[in-house]
Amino acid sequence: MNFGRPRSSEPEINLIPFIDVLLVVLIFLMLSTTYGKLTQIDLKLPTADAEQQQEKPNEIRVVVSSDGHYLVQNKALEGADIQAIGQALAIAAKQTANPLVVISADARASHQSVIQVLEAAQTAGLQQVTFTAQSRSQATTLP
Segment 110-126 shows an average pLDDT of 90
* Beta strands across the sheet bearing 70-72: 75-76, 70-72, 59-64, 100-105, 129-131
* Residue 132: band (very low, low, confident or very high) from pLDDT cuts 50, 70, 90: confident
User: Residue 119 pLDDT > 70, yes or no?
Assistant: yes
Predicted pLDDT of residue 26: 94
**What is the tens place of the pLDDT at every residue in 38-84?**
444 454 444 555 555 555 678 998 988 888 889 898 888 887 889 99
Domain covering 59-138 in this structure, CATH number: 3.30.420.270
